[in-house]
Structure 1
Amino acid sequence: MVAEERKDEHRSLIFTYGTLKQGFSNHTLMQELIRTGDAAFLGTCRTAESYPLVCGPYRVPFLLNLPGCGQCVDGELYAVSLKGLSRMDELEGTNRGHYERLPIKLEFESHDSTDGAAINTTCAAEELARAEAYYAHRSYAMEMWRKNGKKGLSAYTEKETKGYVKRKDRPQHLTFLDHIQLFLSS
């Protein structure tokens, strides 16, 4: 009966583009949610529109809610229960002004070869999904875009994680928003 209830439970589609992806430091949360039945991996995808994906303090990735800027961003799609969503919101600091969970349109990657010339245009894909993503909070997103020279990434990869500092290893006397403000003012 529990399995049936879980199957019928409302699930949100969540696009991950940074440290929650497979092989990255916060993916342990996704693994735990999958193990408890509170998340399911659905596949790889990319944003249907271009968005800026930038790195901030400690090489933390930020998706900026500035559609039409940057590039189409690669990531992973998960179906997440309400309980799992609550855990993800806590990690992403949605109630502390770190990130905002907002709608995003995604496309599952086509298996056909493309020449990569889809920057600032709709990206080639097979299917469209409506999901949500964790965007940098609007209170600092535009400054983050400027700080990164108005250049974005198409994916958060091993290369971008060079210099990434886990939360537990950052100075604890400052809040995450303090770290962001220091980064933006430097």
Structure 2
Amino acid sequence: MVDDDEKEAKKSTHWCVGLTGVPFLLNLPGLGQRVMGELYAVSSHGLARMDELEGTSRGHYERLPIKLEAEEEEAAAANAYFAHSSYAMELWIKNGKMGLSTYSEKEARGYVKRQDRPQHLTFLDHIHLFLSSSSSSSSSP
């Protein structure tokens, strides 16, 4: 996570939006661009809870180390949650090998809240449906 105004992740990262408007960071070395985001400090307990919420043990996301850069500060280390490597490349291809440098209010308008998504489908079901659909639109519910 990176501070909106000043900090950026190194090249190899993209924001990519999936079927229900869920934003994903993609860890694709050599294919990325700098991205903007927010930076939070959390305790070890908070980090464990975030891992649980982000589904790191269920193949939803991976928490990986990143380097942050700021215009007038030295690079700092942090962690970010990336789309799991089991589907990240397919997501990249499905989105036309196009990424975003920021996930803004414009992209967030297409976000479908969990309670408004089909409840019988898991997070990974949604991913697989999006990847197998014939449309490349990322804003479809």
TM bucket by the smaller chain?
A: 0.7 to 0.9
**Alignment correspondent of 2:126:** 179
Q: TM-score, normalised by structure 1?
A: 0.67
Gap runs ≥5 in structure 2? 134-141
Residue type of the alignment partner of 1:166? K
Does structure 1 residue 54 correspond to structure 2 residue 16?
Answer: yes
Shift of 1:44: 4.7
Equivalent residues of 1:55, 1:61 under 8 A apart: yes
Secondary structure, aligned partner of 2:76: strand
Shift of 1:57: 1.9
Secondary structure, aligned partner of 1:79: coil
Equivalent residues of 2:2, 2:8 under 8 A apart: no
Between Structure 1 and Structure 2, the one with more helix by share is: 1
Q: What aligned pairs does 1:25-44 form with structure 2 within 5 A after superposition?
A: 44=6
**Alignment correspondent of 2:57:** 95
**Alignment correspondent of 1:86:** 48
Residues in 2 aligned to 1:80 and 1:162: alpha-carbon distance in whole angstroms: 28
Structure 1 residues 107 and 182 mapped into 2: Cα distance closer, same or farther (>3 Å)? same
Q: Which stretches of structure 1, 4 residues or longer, exceed 6 Å deviation after superposition?
A: none
Secondary structure, aligned partner of 2:125: helix
Q: Which has the larger radius of gyration?
A: 1
Work out the number of aligned pairs and report it.
133
Residues in 2 aligned to 1:149 and 1:126: alpha-carbon distance in whole angstroms: 35
Identical aligned pairs, as a percentage?
68
Secondary structure, aligned partner of 1:59: coil
Residue type of the alignment partner of 2:15? L
Residues 47-100 of structure 1: per-residue CA shift (max 9 Å, x gap): 122412100121101111112213200011112101111221122111111000
Q: TM-score, normalised by structure 2?
A: 0.86
Residues in 1 aligned to 2:39 and 2:6: alpha-carbon distance in whole angstroms: 6
Gap runs ≥5 in structure 1? 1-14, 22-42, 111-124
User: Cα RMSD (Å) of the superposition?
Assistant: 1.8
Residues in 1 aligned to 2:128 and 2:76: alpha-carbon distance in whole angstroms: 34
Q: What aligned pairs does 1:70-149 form with structure 2 within 5 A after superposition?
A: 70-108=32-70, 110=71, 126-149=73-96
